[in-house]
Amino acid sequence: MRRIRELLEETLVPMVDKASVFDLAVVSFLAGLGEELLFRGIIQFWLTLHTGPLIALLLASVAFGLAHAVTRIYVVMATLIGFYLGSLMLATDSLVPPIMAHALYDFCGLLYIRHHYRQSGR
């Protein structure tokens, strides 16, 4: 977790600190849209055609985790989040809920980081 914090402080905090709330909302929405179209709309869908929904969900979740390979623990956390988002798509038969959940997760995370580091004076 220390390495994740260090990477945040080095790379993300300077960008987030300068961004407006609107900027953070746009970035979060575009990240949620793009990643969900790729991992759920293309990868998971294609894998479902060839392996079935459960194997596709697992493989797409692992791919999502590996695409977020900041640290080993973050790969695990991202894989679990990917599993949730993929399950949400399966449960609703729509990409809209995982896109919105992903965007909201990113937005809340960016707001938290921005607020936390401004409060701590770093």
Of the candidates 33, 31, 61, 67, the one whose C-alpha atom is nearest the C-alpha of residue 48 is 61
Read off the pTM.
0.87
The two structure tokens encoding residue 74: 């973050």
Mean pLDDT of the chain: 92
Q: What is the pLDDT of residue 120?
A: 66
Query: Where is pLDDT greater, at 3 or 72?
Result: 72
Predicted confidence band of residue 11 (pLDDT cuts 50, 70, 90)? confident
Q: Where residue 4 falls among pLDDT bands split at 50, 70, 90?
A: confident
Taking residues 89-114, what's their average pLDDT? 96
**Residue 9, pLDDT above cutoff 80:** no
**The pLDDT of residue 122 is above 60:** no
